[in-house]
Amino acid sequence: DISLVKSEPDDDRPNEHGGQENEMTYEEKLAFASPIAHPMASKKLCKKLIKLVKKSAKHKGYTFGGIKAVRTAIRKGQSGLLILAGDSSPIDNMSFLPGLCEEKDIPYVYIPSRKDLGAALNVRRGVVALLVKEHEDYKSLIDECSQQVRALDIMV
């Protein structure tokens, strides 16, 4: 007699708090971030940034994901808010982006996990760099996030 019922529970089922059982906390993700990932978003700001990315993902042409697309968009004069993943490896691949942003006066911030950034953008892979352009649907949210990012201390 072959039973089709699994005896073990699935690890990827949502827990009672709505998250995944094996999901890491903000502090655990922070441990994997590069030491040069500065300024790092706080836990509260990180949640706002993820919310912003989810809203912007609904509008085609308002997000640029990946190092090459972000670099091209910035050089062509696009503005917005740049969100970088702190756990990107090797970090040297995108270490030029903060300097480029400072030249063009674009606010930028690191979040601890590239997987979170990819999930918010509705892609299966992690995203290491994402430029979010302003749109009227989320203008107040991007302004609030940009203001908080500019308030973070940036060492030049």
Establish how many alpha carbons lie within 13 A of residue 54's alpha carbon, considering only the half-sphere containing its beta carbon: 9
Rounded to the nearest integer, the mean pLDDT of the chain is 84
For the chain, percent of residues with pLDDT exceeding 90: 62
What are the Cα distances from residue 137, in Å, to 31, 83, 153? 34, 19, 29
What are the residues facing 86 on neighbouring strands?
none
CATH classification of 29-151, choosing from 3.30.1330.30, 1.10.150.120, 3.90.245.10, 1.10.30.50? 3.30.1330.30
| Residue 121 dihedral angles phi and psi, to the nearest 5° | -90, 0
| Amino acid of residue 2 | I
In tens, the pLDDT along 59-81 reads 999 999 999 999 999 999 999 99
Q: Residue 109 phi/psi, 5° resolution? A: -155, 150
Answer yes or no: pTM beyond 0.85. Answer: no
pLDDT (tens digit per residue) in 111-131: 999 999 999 999 999 999 999
List the chain domain ranges.
29-151
